[in-house]
């Protein structure tokens, strides 16, 4: 008797490995859009729970961004129940673009909804269906934006209760698994709309694969894994440096003694701790602060996010409102 399709076996093994540490009775929620990636993930969770002590459920987030989105969400919920997942919940969110862009607003609303549902049902783990292709697109976007190592490190496989079992699985493998197992899915038309940055990144990766040969997406994802280790180490060193520096004002000499890759991270932490909104602190702000050390010419106070002021007076630097 033959086993499952190779793609199905790969996805099931990824899920089994990701959830190997769960305790009996733990609830696992699959965040499912009804697309091929998350439906392949849901099928694997439904299969693996038959041989496990944990219980698999799912949540479908309806962003309300398209006509008939409630019907799509209800249909996806029905597919998930047919797989044997329980509970299956549909969560409607209101997406309001407050200036960060529709994609970011939808992502924020989705994450908030997932957190709320996980708390409500007592889920130990929330699984997201991001694939190797998604990771490659994330790295490419970071390169285009000129971001640092943390952004180029892509999406982590696990953070808090959120886990991403499919970062080593391709989008094509997810479709193959769905077809092999007879699992339905739908293709979101927004995934083909070039108005969205993510769609343009997806097409760019496909173009690179066509022009440079297969393996570009895998290489980008592999680079993310390597950079994440570097970024984790630098973040740990920055956290330690902030603890040693203590509350301000800070001696310019003490800040200057830090290696620059650590110091730029320290600046960000000091700014956020002083009241700057984390989402508004960018490289230009940390670079301006660093110039108080490296290019000090008696310049006046820096105006920073959160109505902060950075001032160097003699040998000390102060952040204040």
CA distance 120 to 114: 10
Residues 30 and 147 reside in one and the same domain? yes
At residue 65, the pLDDT reads: 67
Instruction: Give the chain's domain count.
Output: 2
pLDDT per residue over 268-317, tens digit each?
999 999 999 887 888 889 999 999 999 988 888 999 999 999 999 989 99
Residue 262 domain-assigned? yes
Q: How many residues are present in the chain?
A: 321
Q: Single out the residue in 186, 220, 254 at which a domain terminates.
A: 220
Band of residue 201 on the pLDDT scale cut at 50, 70, 90: confident
35 assigned binding-site residue:
yes
Residues 13 and 141 reside in one and the same domain? yes
Residue 27 domain-assigned? yes
Residue 115, pLDDT above cutoff 90: yes
First-residue to last-residue Cα distance in the chain: 71
Residue 120 domain-assigned? yes
Residues 157 and 12 reside in one and the same domain? yes
pLDDT per residue over 167-199, tens digit each?
999 999 999 999 999 999 998 777 777 777 778
Residues 89 and 133 reside in one and the same domain? yes
In angstroms, what CA-CA distances link 86 with 23, 49, 59, 81?
18, 11, 10, 7
Query: Which residues, listed in sequence order, are joined to residue 310 by a DSSP beta bridge?
Result: 302, 319
Residue 269 domain-assigned? yes
Q: Single out the residue in 202, 220, 238 at which a domain terminates.
A: 220
Residues 179 and 304 reside in one and the same domain? no
Residues 62 and 203 reside in one and the same domain? yes
Residue 266 domain-assigned? yes
Residues 205 and 255 reside in one and the same domain? no
Residues 294 and 211 reside in one and the same domain? no
34 assigned binding-site residue:
yes
36 assigned binding-site residue:
yes
Cα angle 220, 107, 221 (rounded to 5 degrees) comes to: 10
For the sheet with 125-127, list strands across it. 88-92, 55-62, 27-31, 125-127, 162-163, 158-159
Residue 225 domain-assigned? no
pLDDT per residue over 127-156, tens digit each?
999 999 999 888 888 877 766 677 778 889
At residue 1, the pLDDT reads: 47
2 assigned binding-site residue:
no
At residue 40, the pLDDT reads: 97
17 assigned binding-site residue:
no
Residues 174 and 38 reside in one and the same domain? yes
Residue with the larger pLDDT of the pair 61 and 195:
61
CATH code, domain with 64: 3.40.50.620
Residues 43 and 119 reside in one and the same domain? yes
Residues 161 and 268 reside in one and the same domain? no
33 assigned binding-site residue:
yes
> Which range marks the domain in which residue 304 is found?
246-320
Residue 64, pLDDT above cutoff 70: no
Average pLDDT over residues 207-230: 85
Q: Which of 137, 265, 155 is nearest to 208 (CA)?
A: 137
Residues 191 and 250 reside in one and the same domain? no
Angle between helices 260-273 and 283-294 (to 10 degrees): 110
CA distance 297 to 115: 48
Residue with the larger pLDDT of the pair 240 and 218:
240
CATH code, domain with 271: 3.30.465.60
Residue 118 domain-assigned? yes
Using the Cα atoms of residue 19, residue 23, residue 29 and residue 31 in order, give the sign of their dihedral. Answer: negative
Residue 237 domain-assigned? no
Residue 258, pLDDT above cutoff 90: yes
């Amino acid at each position: 008797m033959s086993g499952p399709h190779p793609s199905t076996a790969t996805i099931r093994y990824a899920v089994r490995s990701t959830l190997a540490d769960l305790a009996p009775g733990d609830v696992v929620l699959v965040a499912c859009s009804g697309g091929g990636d998350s439906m392949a993930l849901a099928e694997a969770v439904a299969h693996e729970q038959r041989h496990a002590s944990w219980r698999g459920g799912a949540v479908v987030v309806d962003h309300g961004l398209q006509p008939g989105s409630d019907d799509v969400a209800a249909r996806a919920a029905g597919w998930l129940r047919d797989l044997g997942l329980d509970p299956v919940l549909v969560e409607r969110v209101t997406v309001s673009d407050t200036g960060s862009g529709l994609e970011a607003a939808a992502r924020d609303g989705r994450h908030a909804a997932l957190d709320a549902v996980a708390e409500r049902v007592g889920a130990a783990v929330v699984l997201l269906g991001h694939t190797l292709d998604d990771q490659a697109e994330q790295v490419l976007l970071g390169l285009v934006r000129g971001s640092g190592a943390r952004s180029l490190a892509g999406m982590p496989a696990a953070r808090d209760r959120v886990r991403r079992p499919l970062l080593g699985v391709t989008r094509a493998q997810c479709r193959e698994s769905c077809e092999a197992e007879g699992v339905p899915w739908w293709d979101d038309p927004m995934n083909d709309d070039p108005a969205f940055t993510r769609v343009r990144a997806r097409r760019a990766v496909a173009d690179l694969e066509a022009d440079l040969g297969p393996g570009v997406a895998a290489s980008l994802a592999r680079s993310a894994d390597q950079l994440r280790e570097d970024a984790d180490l630098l973040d740990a060193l920055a956290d330690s440096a902030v603890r040693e520096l203590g509350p301000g004002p800070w001696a310019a000499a003490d800040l200057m003694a830090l290696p620059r890759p650590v110091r730029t991270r320290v600046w960000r932490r000091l700014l956020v701790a002083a009241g700057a909104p984390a989402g508004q602190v960018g490289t230009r702000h940390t670079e301006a602060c660093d110039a108080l050390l490296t290019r000090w010419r008696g310049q006046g106070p820096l105006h920073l996010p959160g109505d902060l002021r950075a001032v160097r007076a003699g040998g000390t630097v102060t952040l204040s409102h």
